[in-house]
Amino acid sequence: MCEAVVTLSREVSKQDEPNVEDICWICHEGHSDGMPLAKPCRCKCMQAHRPCLARWQLQQAGRTEERFCRFCKTELPDWREAHSQLPKASPIMTVVHNGVTHQVTVEPGPDGRERFQAEIRRIFNLGENDAIQLTFGCRVPGTGHEITLEGWEAFDAAVHCAAISAGQRMKMQNDQQPKPGAATTERKTSGGMLRRLFSRTNPQQGL
């Protein structure tokens, strides 16, 4: 009797062990037809669903973990490619500062970032020496969950999310217009949001 019980518990623990490796380390769900598990790096237990990994990388935007496994340092796939099927449109960032709201068209890349920074300085009358700190409010592509990304390093990720949000709104607007061939309205759709914008005002400014 006793022996049988001992054998049974051993078998259970043996069966449990490999299952731990067959789950996504992010959502803890297993493999399914529409959601296969993939191994993005050399770490043994680092299996993840592609959309889960992309979402996790997005949340690390601007940090090393966005592009490399923090343990084995393998370069991770570009998380933006997980959204290649989603419609995109010209990204627009809503910027709120001191109760004033502006919508600014944005582009990814260092040039786009520089233009955005210059535009913010112009709109809000900030001097060249005013340090700008910011927080982006974005929606995760595909799920629509709201997340916040901190700092200029997250600019490209925020623009990517804004382009997809804009694309989805555009698609929804077009779907609501049943006439085929009708000219699409070029209504501006805001995709991204600059949640907080801090600027340390230069004491000499405004003189």
User: In the complex, what is the shortest distance from the CB of residue 59 to Zn ion, in angstroms, rounded to a whole number?
Assistant: 14
Pairing of strands 92-97, 100-105: antiparallel
- Give me 34's structure tokens: 């529409």
- Angstrom CA distances, 154 to 19, 37, 56, 91, 177, stand at 36, 27, 14, 15, 35
Binding Zn ion (rule: CB under 5 A), the pick from 63, 67, 69, 169 is 69
| DSSP 3-state of 28 | coil
Residues 24-53 that bind Zn ion (CB under 5 A): 24, 26-27, 41, 43, 49, 52
Token pair for 95? 């910027």
The set of residues, in sequence order, having a beta carbon less than 8 Å from that of 125 and lying 6+ positions away, is none
The CB-of-76 to Zn ion minimum distance in angstroms stands at 9
Contact at 8 Å (CB) between 76 and 40?
Answer: yes
Which helix (H) or strand (E) segment holds residue 161: the answer is helix 155-175
Residue found by looking up tokens 């960032």 in the block: 93
Shortest Å, Cβ 54 to Zn ion? 10
Kindly tell me which of 41 and 61 has the beta carbon lying closer to Zn ion. Answer: 41
Q: Least distance in Å: CB of 70 to Zn ion?
A: 8
Q: Using the minimum distance from each CB to Zn ion, give the nearer residue, 24 or 158.
A: 24
Buried b / exposed e over 166-203, threshold 16 CB at 10 Å, is: bbbbbeeeeeeeeeeeeeeeeeebbbbbbbebebeeee
Per CB under 5 A, the segment of 61-69, 128-136, 140-148, 198-206 that binds Zn ion is 61-69
In whole angstroms, the minimum distance from the beta carbon of 51 to Zn ion comes to: 7
**Pick from 72, 118, 123, 131: which binds Zn ion (CB under 5 A)?**
72
Q: Which is nearer to Zn ion, 24 or 106 (CB)?
A: 24
The distance of closest approach from Cβ of residue 185 to Zn ion in the complex, given in angstroms and rounded to an integer, is 38
Name which of 23 and 86 has its Cβ closer to Zn ion: 23
Task: For residue 164, state whether it binds Zn ion (rule: CB under 5 A).
Answer: no
132 binds Zn ion (CB under 5 A): no
Q: Contact residues for Zn ion (CB under 5 A)?
A: 24, 26-27, 41, 43, 49, 52, 69, 71-72
